[in-house]
Structure 1
């Protein structure tokens, strides 16, 4: 290039001499190079073909795929890298989605999570792991489609995040010099504790009391720890969280309180019973302490007998066939809410096993009786009207009939 020859020095070709002639020549050369070239020119760069309307994210470089910047850029809000792989497995067990899943799906997800935890390529510094699909298929027997579905579920549940996507050797840049396939990199996540206190299912000591020396010579003076009662099962806790979430986000009633659930197929009846139990928990505060399946299991015989939500609410507060109301509710002093609900509803079961009529059934029977009485009265009135219309007056008047009757009696 002529510009380069003018601006370089004779002794050092890399040195630039800032003379007025060289500066003007350099400016003209840059202006010529900045002019746009036509699209049909051979100097125009060629665009890399790709899919229209879709953007494929670029994979993180191999040297930076486990860096803090790459890891924290994919972590969603409210989450952080798990402190330990065991804590990560326990966090999966505490998820409401995991606890409320089907029994077979729950077992498969748990087996898959343990298989992922055993995969090589784990980095404890960044809490990233590199599971290889071929290893999961050969050693643990997971089909490829199941692996894809399980990874998707774990990402949707917020326990995994993709740091670097997998890539085959065909799409590896030639400049990297690598010809092997690259596995995906995942980071293990757990939710951030808002209160900043570590929570676990182990009983937490509430206080420690040190006995003063020589206070009781015959007893040991070691610290006595008063431990709190153990937490309920993880499934119960997950169910209560799910119930509270649905009740707080309730915009309309889950089920009509005056409607029964005996409609449709067996699956539809089960779903109707679940929604009715959820609406029952919304209307009765003490029932929010237990799970919706627990409430549905206790109330299911009454739902099958044609009871409604309002009938069960009435049976909880009132004794059968009387106007006597219970003196207390289950808001205070009740430890086992399920047993309390079963006891209250059990009063409405006869000794032979049949159910008393619910208030709605009584009202329906009374309305049926009143409707039958109205129909009978209407039929009686129509019959009397028809008799009046078809009545034929006798040819002889009443005076003549009375005279003939007296004459017959006198003779």
Structure 2
């Protein structure tokens, strides 16, 4: 933090990046800095102003004022203490007045990367009024042969931090709360049971969620899907269909659900899911088809030698196409036309 405005003004003038800015950019930025010094509170070394006040004083657009503030903050010469707030966003019970943001003057560290490498900033792309095609707060940082915006670098750094932070929280949660994994599994089972109620006939929609969980938890833990349970409610393990459809004639829907699913459980262990059985059958069928195709191709290759009439005819047509005419093919490949 700067002790006085004069020291801060000298830091601005001798900043390595500011000195390399074009004249058309440095002059209005310097005028804005002097205006900030006039708005400065010498006791607290803070400045509070609205964007509209700066726009009226310099006769510029809001994008230009935002650009100046962003540049000073990026150079390490300005720091935000409190953000502004419009009157229409004031909480209930508080005065509906516009609150201006509060900034403080700062002097950048000499060890900052911009001091040692001022060429990191592309000064040719810095203008007083940014182009409407490009974001007003975009600054470009050279990284080798590629130019990446400063906002992109910040977003990538924050994304890396967020991933590491979430992983750290999850590991701590697993250590401090051993029951967290059980709660997550219970939540997932409830979600599957609700989906089963949604996709099932009207029978399961007439009962609560707890009876459905009691009968389907074992199957869901074994890897069964909702389609597998719906198939098991209408079909036996041997592929035959049940005599009745739905829970009609049963004393309760839960008893019907228990009876139908019990047929797919043997020795307290669920059988292979119907979808998995179908996938295994499809894999075996495709393997058998591939074996039959390979066997047929091998038999065809053995039954048709190189001098067979069909192969000679194909080679003859190929030679005619390659040579351009039948006479040229006869001259270059007479062996193909001996039997013709």
User: Shorter chain as normaliser: what TM range?
Assistant: 0.3 to 0.5
Structure with a larger share of its residues in helix: 2
TM-score by length of 1: 0.28
Structure possessing the higher radius of gyration over alpha carbons: 1
In the superposition, the TM-score normalised over structure 2's length comes to 0.33
